[in-house]
Amino acid sequence: MQEPSVNLGVCFSDTQLFYALNSSELPLTLRRIGKIDFNFNIENALLEADSEAISGLLDRVDRIVREYKVTNLKCLFPANLECWSTLPKSVYDDPGERESYLKLLMHGQSRQTLEPFWFDLSNRDYRFLSVRSKPHTLGYKQLGDASSFSDLCSDFEIGINWIDKTDRRDTFMLLGCYRDHLVISSFIMGKFRAATFIRFRYLEDLAFLWLQQSENLPWLRGVHDCVYYYGEKALEISEILHNHLDSGSIKIKLDNLSDMYVKASEETYSFNLEEAFPAIILAL
């Protein structure tokens, strides 16, 4: 009899690592959701490939992998280290046009250093492109060495995974609320519609930046059944953007498991679940 697979989802917030574990035996029930504190900024250490800091991080992840016999590991990769774009499918279908577009988009960077990823959209005439710089991924990829299979996931893939695992077919918006950028992804009738992210220096500037982006991206003003907030700054950003979102939508801060459509044996946690949401969904 084949052993059930065990999935580990991981995400970071400053000096904190959030993780979640799930077994294929109970697809929407988490075996464990946890947090580990470090004395350094995890994302900076991974980006700079700080060997001393990374070794401690890798040791903790490796211990989780061995203790729970993890077979699959998924780690959230920061949106502000990627480049996103939507382009006509006709451009994607032509290899020459596709490479020309990539060269133009990532002007000045060697093609050998780029990792492009393509995604289907609800509008089949277009495709969504996410590009990473390989040097930026080196530290992150070391995390996956402890398991038999690993993957780095973009922020908008959280919504794609959520739909895939829960089979939901409503229209909703996800807002990933971080200390220096906001990730917005939209899903319509169970399909990925669009995504973007907004960098900011001060939270007070976000309302203006949102309105500025909305002029070029009408879907930001679109109708959604629900708007979900997650991440370290979920509360603050939900208050800032409240009057700029569809007034008819239900606004939900993902601080409990029932709103995530998952279960766990533990009922209370010593940390904010909205910060662990990416890890929870990536573990499913």
Residue 100: partners with Cβ closer than 8 Å, 6 or more residues away: none
Classified by CATH at the fold level, domain 169-253 comes out as Nucleotidyltransferase; domain 5 (3.30.420)
Place of tokens 């946890």: 34
Same fold, 6-79+134-160+259-283 and 169-253: yes
Domain ranges of the chain: 6-79+134-160+259-283, 83-130, 169-253
For residues 150 and 75, the answer to whether their CB atoms sit within 8 Å is yes
Distance separating alpha carbons of residues 225 and 231, to the nearest angstrom = 20
pTM given for the model: 0.94
Go through 70-84 and write b for each residue having 16 or more CB atoms within 10 A of its CB, e for each that does not.
Answer: bbbbbbbbbbeebbb
For residues 220 and 197, the answer to whether their CB atoms sit within 8 Å is no
Q: What share of the chain is helix, strand, coil (3-state, %, to 5)?
A: 40, 30, 30
CATH class label, 6-79+134-160+259-283:
alpha beta
Go through 171-182 and write b for each residue having 16 or more CB atoms within 10 A of its CB, e for each that does not.
Answer: bbbbbbbbeebb
| Sequential pLDDT tens for the chain (284 residues) | 567 889 999 999 999 999 999 988 888 999 999 999 999 999 999 988 767 778 889 999 999 999 999 999 999 999 999 999 999 999 999 999 999 999 999 988 999 999 999 999 999 999 999 999 999 999 898 887 766 678 999 999 999 999 999 999 999 999 999 999 999 999 999 999 999 999 999 999 999 999 999 999 999 999 999 999 999 999 999 999 999 999 999 999 999 999 999 999 887 899 999 999 999 999 99
Distance separating alpha carbons of residues 64 and 177, to the nearest angstrom = 27
Pairing of strands 226-230, 250-253: parallel
Distance separating alpha carbons of residues 47 and 64, to the nearest angstrom = 22
